[in-house]
Amino acid sequence: MEPAGTVLEDHCVALRDGLIEAVLPRAAAEKRFSSYANVLLDEHALMPGLVNAHTHAAMTLMRGLADDLALMRWLEEHIWPAEMKHVSAQYVQDGTLLACAEMLRGGITCFNDMYFFPGAALEAALRAGMRVSIGMIVLDFPSAYAADPDDYLAKGLALRDRWREHPLVSFCLAPHAPYTVSDATFGKIAKLAGEVDVPVHIHLHETADEIARSLGEHGVRPIERLERLGLLGPGLIAVHAVHLNDAEIALLAKHGASVAHCPSSNLKLASGFAPVAKMAAAGINIAFGTDGAASNNRLDMFEEMRLGALLAKAVAQDAEALPAHAALRAATLGGAVALGLEGRIGSIAPGKSADLAAVRLAGPELSPCYDPLSHLVYAAGRHNVSDVWVAGQHLLQGGQFPDSAPDSPFRGLDTRYKLWQNSLGTNTES
């Protein structure tokens, strides 16, 4: 990823104490690091681990629960009632573990989560060995997790105080959306964001209905409302950002905000087509996210890269919009920048954490290979991921988890998610 567009052939990456020690030609590596253990990837592209910049990991337990519906009907008639009945710390832990298994198998090493019981999600991610950015979720209505906005904030900040020094954990303030958070709560979040220096992760301009509702209730579109409340800045992660006019694109660029683009979810919920090429041309940092498995049905960043690149070209009517390298950057370094982690992850560079994914570029569907960058975005899929490392820990080996240990995080997971499936399937309309 750095320098942009670079592909190094016949090279090695040396790892030490969870960090990248060196990147150098194979012949030099064999001399300098002759005592190191070797992992031979002779048919592979080694790439930075994918960064899922927006998801609701525990919602894997709602995969396929209520399909083919518009966003607000999907939320109000199905998802929110199901959450009120079923969401608990155990639910979030089991759902997040299931998501971690899926994401690791697809080369995702870091995810930015927004959901209830964030402490349970954090513990599940660490059990799986993944890097996680935990959303300190805030809404103006009660849930099984918290009673009111102050309760949400107090619990989120206490969790951050407890885990802020962990090398695999970071945090975001995560107000859900403009239609679920009041001006008073946004004011508190703006003040806290400056005090604790964390990103603000929010669904924003996802649907035309959201904008119409904001105009009716507040007299302005959501982005203008957030600017008035002091929430626009380099730490803002605007999720979806589908319905933007040129002035709003310029405003996000002026404030150095990032956009977490979720093309599959946008398509499935018929939210619209984000002007990604315009945003990128304006200098907005673009990241990719899967959204939750309830609105996407899969946590597959290879699919998001491909769809994101193709849709950007179609919307802009420009075949050169969001080329392969830009799409791969959005799925790796772009996500790291959005989360404030670009100094630690997102590219293969000495001193950074050894968060890596190996993709086997072999087989009929990937032959011939003229350009590995092109294949990673347009031809390869998550099934081609063979190995994954997070902070130097070899979590996926040859496409499999080394799960023979009695304390494997994924042992018994199939039994637990089937129990949840039976529970949700019999108690929730879909």
Q: In what order do the strands lie in the sheet with 169-175?
A: 50-55, 108-113, 131-138, 169-175, 200-204, 236-240, 258-261, 285-288
Residue 428 has pLDDT above 70, yes or no: no
Structure-block tokens of residue 120: 């349970």
**Rounded mean pLDDT, 390-414:** 82
Q: Residue 425 has what pLDDT? A: 67
Summarize pLDDT for 99-119 with one digit per residue, the tens: 999 999 999 999 999 999 999
Q: How does residue 410 score in pLDDT terms, banded at 50, 70 and 90?
A: confident
> 3-state DSSP call for residue 241?
coil
Burial group, residue 400, by CB count within 10 angstroms (0-12, 13-18, 19+):
exposed
Closest CA to 205 of 62, 71, 58: 71
Residue pair 354/23 in contact by the 8 Å Cβ criterion: no
Separation of CA 306 from chain center: 16
Q: How does residue 429 score in pLDDT terms, banded at 50, 70 and 90?
A: very low
Residue pair 296/303 in contact by the 8 Å Cβ criterion: no
How many residues in total does the chain contain?
430
**Rounded mean pLDDT, 396-406:** 78
Structure-block tokens of residue 108: 């995702």
> 3-state DSSP call for residue 72?
helix
Residue 41 has pLDDT above 50, yes or no: yes
Residue pair 292/92 in contact by the 8 Å Cβ criterion: no
Positive/negative CA dihedral, 414, 83, 130, 311: positive
> 3-state DSSP call for residue 228?
helix
Q: How does residue 430 score in pLDDT terms, banded at 50, 70 and 90?
A: very low
Residue pair 115/137 in contact by the 8 Å Cβ criterion: yes
Summarize pLDDT for 282-301 with one digit per residue, the tens: 999 999 999 999 899 999 99
CA dist., res. 122 & res. 67, Å (int):
28
Q: How does residue 412 score in pLDDT terms, banded at 50, 70 and 90?
A: confident
Q: Which residue has the tokens 């966003």?
A: 71
| Cα angle 124, 109, 83; round to 5 | 40
The pTM of this model reads 0.95
Q: Residue 426 has what pLDDT? A: 54
Closest CA to 164 of 134, 121, 200: 134
For residue 83, give every residue at least 6 positions away whose Cβ sits within 8 Å of its Cβ, in sequence order, or none: 116, 143, 144
Summarize pLDDT for 338-352 with one digit per residue, the tens: 999 999 999 999 999
Residue pair 159/144 in contact by the 8 Å Cβ criterion: no
Summarize pLDDT for 185-230 with one digit per residue, the tens: 999 999 999 999 999 999 999 999 999 999 999 999 999 999 999 9
Residue pair 161/178 in contact by the 8 Å Cβ criterion: no
Q: What domains sit in the chain, N to C, each tagged with a CATH number?
A: 1-430 (3.20.20.140)
Summarize pLDDT for 48-98 with one digit per residue, the tens: 999 999 999 999 999 988 888 888 888 889 888 888 888 999 999 999 999
Q: Which residue has the tokens 């990937």?
A: 366
CA dist., res. 312 & res. 275, Å (int):
7
CA dist., res. 410 & res. 126, Å (int):
12
| Residue 381 backbone dihedrals phi, psi, to 5 degrees | -140, 175
For residue 364, give every residue at least 6 positions away whose Cβ sits within 8 Å of its Cβ, in sequence order, or none: none
CA dist., res. 97 & res. 128, Å (int):
7
**Rounded mean pLDDT, 28-54:** 97
CA dist., res. 48 & res. 236, Å (int):
23
β-strands 50-55, 108-113 pairing? parallel
Mean pLDDT, the chain, as a whole number? 94
Q: Residue 144 has what pLDDT? A: 94
Q: Residue 336 has what pLDDT? A: 98
Residue pair 313/319 in contact by the 8 Å Cβ criterion: yes
Output b/e per residue, 322-349; b: 16+ Cβ within 10 A.
bbbbbbbbbbbbbbbbbbbbbebbbbbe
Share above pLDDT 90 across residues of the chain, in percent, rounded to a whole number: 86
Summarize pLDDT for 172-193 with one digit per residue, the tens: 999 999 999 999 999 999 999 9
